[in-house]
Amino acid sequence: MPTPVSKPTTALPVVVIGAGPVGLAAAAHLIDQGLEPLVLEAGPRAGTAVREWSHVRLFSAWAEVTDPAAEKLLAPTGWTRPDPASCPTGGEWADHYLQPLAEVLGDRIRYGARVTGVSRTGRDRIVDDGREAQPFVIHLAHPDGREERISARAVIDASGTWSAPGPAGGSGLPAIGERAAADRISYRVPDLADPAVRARYAGRRTAVIGTGASAFTALATLADLAGADDGAGTKTVWILRRGISGSTFGGGTADQLPARGALGLAAKAAVDQGHADAVTGFRTEAIERDDRGRLVLVAEDGRRLDPVDEIIALTGFRPDLSFLSEIRLGLDERLQAPVALAPLIDPNQHSCGTVYPHGHRELSHPEPDFYATGMKSYGRAPTFLALTGYEQVRSIAAALAGDTEAADRIELTLPETGVCGGSGLFDAPTPTDQQTAAGCCSEPEPLLPAPTPPATARDTACGTSGGGCS
């Protein structure tokens, strides 16, 4: 006879995986609901991943990248939000918001704690009997090689996707020879203020693969390098898997987000001024080396490009599901996002201006009390919303506290214009061009009918680096 189901003991903490923006916000909302969080961060401090793109400026302003429950925790310390209209760099976001919030959370965060597995105590994913009565068990690895196991009443995975960038290969798999050429390939926007990084690209021919905001940033910064005294001979080849259309570079001066419009214009200028040559319809199948050790990109259709010295592959990010093999996940077969969430964020149908606020129900899985949030919840979709990530964890915390009414209520208020995130020019001034109704992103051509928006949906605000609009 099946074992009666009862909930795991409430004395156990709710484990949050990741001390990034959404993970720390989750902890703040759990505390606000009277629940005890334990945040596990693989890195040495809060915002480890954000600090890796510290030179990149967000499109979102401070008003869109801080969480209300987090601000409530910070208020007694005398913390005040920076200028709400200004857009921080990743480094400023980490230093002026994430780190102070982490200090308030104190020993509720454990650093150097890499999660290697999540399951139910005494139950692998096959076993039904008594499953929901068992607490979660989380396996950890520490930098010194020590292993540890802890228990939790619920798990919120806010580990993001930064550690799993997409490959250069056009079929979704690494191109033949991509791994062998790893010493010449970067999957991040280069920080050309770093002398060693600058020397890597100055006077060299670089291929940039991708069409999102990160690719625009790379094109613009490499064009700036080409025009600098130490950048003579710097040249970029821009690899697009599709063609160039009127919407490729965004809304320009008509963009309701001036920072995003300026970035698109800077990328276009890089092409128009001859600093970057665009190659369209090119899906990389192989990366070879010539007799001088330079890299030759070969397309699926057999085209071969002239050799390059470096490759910057900016083709999006993917969720790391390896440590969740014993958790029962309900994922969309295309996006690797929760089944109920996927139709709301599918980039085949939606831009960042048409993604709707959502909560615990859309984020639920067949495994009760397990949730993936933030960029991790979006799987491969590039339209993550910073404010929506905060709304996700507010709803989840309320659901875990048993307040279903609050969990189901949409409490997100978003700017009508939308706020795109992603990587922006890190030191460019904000343009003052008049803003019209072009929207924050160009919307992809729909392949299927768009779903009907929830009754509570409002215009949306696009997220932060590592996602954003592509």
Average model confidence (pLDDT) for the chain? Answer: 84
Give CA angle at 186 (313, 276), nearest 5°. Answer: 55
Which among 438, 216, 421, 449 has a CA at the least distance from the CA of 348?
449
Beta-carbon contacts of 228 under 8 Å, excluding residues fewer than 6 positions away, are none
- pLDDT at position 71 is 97
Determine how many CB atoms are found less than 10 A away from the CB of residue 444: 14
In three-state secondary structure terms, 136 is strand
Indicate whether 467 pLDDT > 60.
no
Place of tokens 């001024």: 273
Type of residue at 87: C
The mean per-residue pLDDT over the stretch 392-404 comes to: 97
The mean per-residue pLDDT over the stretch 7-29 comes to: 91
Sequential DSSP letters for 239-271: E-SS---TTTTTTGGG-SSHHHHHHHHHHHHHH
Task: Give the tens place of pLDDT for each residue, 286-327.
Answer: 999 999 999 999 999 999 999 999 999 999 999 999 999 999
- Report the phi/psi class of residue 251: left, alpha or beta, with left for phi > 0 and alpha for psi in -120 to 50: alpha
Tell me, what DSSP letter sits at residue 426?
S
- Identify the band that residue 399 occupies on the pLDDT scale cut at 50, 70 and 90: very high
Indicate whether 418 pLDDT > 50.
no
- Identify the band that residue 412 occupies on the pLDDT scale cut at 50, 70 and 90: confident
Please answer whether residues 12 and 135 qualify as being in contact, where contact means their C-beta atoms are separated by less than 8 angstroms. Answer: yes
Decide the pairing of beta strands 37-41 and 109-111. Answer: parallel
Indicate whether 439 pLDDT > 90.
no
Task: Give the tens place of pLDDT for each residue, 211-261.
Answer: 888 898 899 999 999 999 999 999 999 999 887 766 666 555 545 455 656
- Cα separation, 344 vs 358, whole angstroms: 9
- pLDDT at position 315 is 94
Indicate whether 420 pLDDT > 50.
no
Indicate whether 5 pLDDT > 50.
no
| The model's pTM | 0.85
Task: Give the tens place of pLDDT for each residue, 74-86.
Answer: 999 999 999 998 9
Task: Give the tens place of pLDDT for each residue, 41-81.
Answer: 999 999 999 999 999 988 788 988 999 999 999 999 999 99
In three-state secondary structure terms, 379 is coil
Edge-to-edge strand ranges of the sheet holding 109-111 = 109-111, 37-41, 14-17, 154-157, 370-372
Give CA angle at 69 (33, 404), nearest 5°. Answer: 40
- The half-sphere exposure of 251 on its side-chain side, counting CA atoms within 13 A, is 24
- pLDDT at position 407 is 96
Please answer whether residues 50 and 98 qualify as being in contact, where contact means their C-beta atoms are separated by less than 8 angstroms. Answer: yes
- Cα separation, 97 vs 419, whole angstroms: 19
- pLDDT at position 141 is 98
Type of residue at 232: A
Indicate whether 169 pLDDT > 90.
yes
- pLDDT at position 245 is 65
